[in-house]
Homo-oligomer: A and B are copies of this chain.
Amino acid sequence: MAQKPSIPKGTRDFSPSEVAKRNFIMQTIREQFEKFGFQPIETPSFENSETLMGKYGDEGDRLIFKILNSGDFLKKANQEAFDQKDSLKITSSISEKALRYDLTVPFARYVVQHRNELEFPFKRYQIQPVWRADRPQKGRFREFFQCDADVVGSDSLWQEVEFVQLYDAVFSSLGLKGVTIKMNNRKVLSGFAEVIGESDKLIDFTVALDKLDKIGEDGVKKEMQEKGISSEAIEKIQRVFDLHGSFSEKIEVLKDILATSEIGKKGIEELEFINNALAELGLYEANLDLDVTLARGLNYYTGAIFEVSAPKGVAMGSIGGGGRYDDLTGIFGMSGVSGVGISFGLDRIYLVLEELDLFPETVAGNVRVLFINFGNKESLYCLKAIKALRAAGIAAELYPEEAKMKKQMNHANKREIPFVVLAGTKEIEDGQFTLKDMKSGEQSTVNLQELKEKIGS
């Protein structure tokens, strides 16, 4: 292979500093998940195709990566499909496994498969990669990590309260101030459709409303009309477009708008409960807002809907989202299991922290000190000190070869190692080390204990 090797489009190599930063985010999220009582599970990278296919719609089916059966797979291929050279039709007969497309369906499968071992309510988190054969573009990859936390087996609204607290705790721990946790409720959206007499057009209605940010009030109204919602109907909820003020103020207006809708009132009641509890408990850094245009895969959610937006001034889509779904496991024949969950958008959070320069300097986990190699006798002397430093938790290493001094110093520079130790005959005799601070250029002669103290900080 003469040409330079490459990786498949839409995938990424991560360099040491990128891995360190990603781990920092994941570790922060993991710690908060655990403080909130969520437990980790992991599921296989590939599932039986029948577990995944048909769960994400036709488009989803198309975007699922399929794994070719091993051995003489054509032997068992569907003959008719083979004769017709029908790729779509032949797939299920030559591919029995497929790569995970998200973490939700595998979680549902897990819950059903292990139902007898699990204690409900079951709070699980999962941080694993997923794969989608999407067209790659800026910020959209074919392999990316999802970070999900869900509770199944409880209808309690305290879960929703906890998820807002969890978002707040994670983003505050990451040093990311000023995120906004937006909430809505599917029942409020149903209420809108009801009061305008267009319950059968709920989806069209909310899909249009969801675009308010992008296409403005006139654009939304135009789209609604195109979908057959009359301007008289739209007029009835004009106040929805004019909503402003605090969460509580919006609630008061909504109570009035939805006064005639039982389901709408239920939605408001839920939102009010959550808002009141959080007002009592307080949030660290995040803002909580009510956004009635929020829909996020409406077919999926049945109650609360969450979405987190980055601090003002950072151009970035949502950095997290989730909601309540009444029937997670029905697709696998286990009904009546209500769930609610949220996820964190790792790649976008990474970009936001990078843009705001919020990664701690120490995150790179770089080596603290490089020992210069002056030969075998000196190296052995150095390695004794290195062993002691490592035992004290300090990352340290010996340059492996007796190369020219300049080359070794350059190595330390390029790797941004903050300290260098030089130990030759004189130092060995005295049981000392010459320590050089690579930033200030300062040199000092120290013993092992002083060495530990100076570079350990």
Q: Which residues of A contact B (CB under 8 A)?
A: 1-8, 11-16, 19-20, 23, 34-37, 39-48, 50-51, 62-63, 65-68, 70-75, 82, 85-88, 90-91, 94-97, 99, 109-110, 112-114, 117, 119, 121, 123-124, 129, 131, 133, 143, 151, 154-156, 158-159, 161-162, 165, 169, 277, 280-282, 331-333, 365-367, 373, 379-380, 383-384, 387, 390, 393-398, 400-401, 411, 414-415
The distance in angstroms between the C-alpha atoms of A415 and B121, with both chains bound, is 11
Cα distance, A176 to B155, chains bound together (Å): 45
Task: Answer whether A70 and B62 are a contact pair too, CB < 8 Å, given A396-B37, A398-B158, A400-B151.
Answer: yes
Residue of B nearest to A121 (CB): B400
CB within 8 Å for A34 and B333 given contacts A44-B8, A383-B161, A383-B281: no
- Nearest residue, chain B, Cβ from A15: B41
Known A397-B36, A401-B156: A41·B68 in contact at CB below 8 Å: no
Q: How many chain copies does the complex carry? A: 2
Task: Find chain B residues with CB under 8 A from A12 CB.
Answer: 44
CA distance A7 to B159 in the complex (A): 30
* With A11-B44, A40-B365, A66-B68 already in contact, 6 other A-B pairs whose C-beta atoms are closer than 8 Å: A1-B332, A13-B43, A15-B117, A35-B396, A68-B91, A156-B400
Could you show 14 A-B contacts with beta carbons less than 8 Å apart?
A: A6-B48, A7-B109, A7-B113, A8-B48, A8-B97, A14-B43, A15-B114, A35-B394, A35-B395, A45-B131, A46-B143, A74-B87, A151-B400, A281-B384
Q: A36-B395, A113-B6 are in contact. Are A68 and B85 (CB under 8 A)?
A: no
- Nearest-neighbour CB distance to chain B for A330, whole angstroms, equals 10
In the complex, which residues of chain B have a beta carbon less than 8 angstroms from the beta carbon of A35? 390, 393-396
Assembly CA distance A66 to B7 (angstroms) = 15
- The listed residue (B37, B110, B158, B169) touching A13 by CB distance below 8 A is B110
State the Cβ distance, A78 to closest chain B Cβ, in Å: 12
Whether the pair A11, B46 counts as a contact (CB closer than 8 A) is yes
Select A41's contact among B14, B155, B332, B394, beta carbons within 8 Å: B14
Would you call B414 and A119 a contact (CB within 8 A)? yes
| A156 to B121 alpha-carbon distance, docked (Å) | 56
Contact A8 B46 (CB under 8 A): yes
CB distance from A141 to the nearest CB of B (A): 9
Q: Which one of A71, A151, A387, A395 has the greatest number of beta carbons of chain B within 10 Å?
A: A395
User: Within 8 Å CB of A62, what residues of B?
Assistant: 70-71
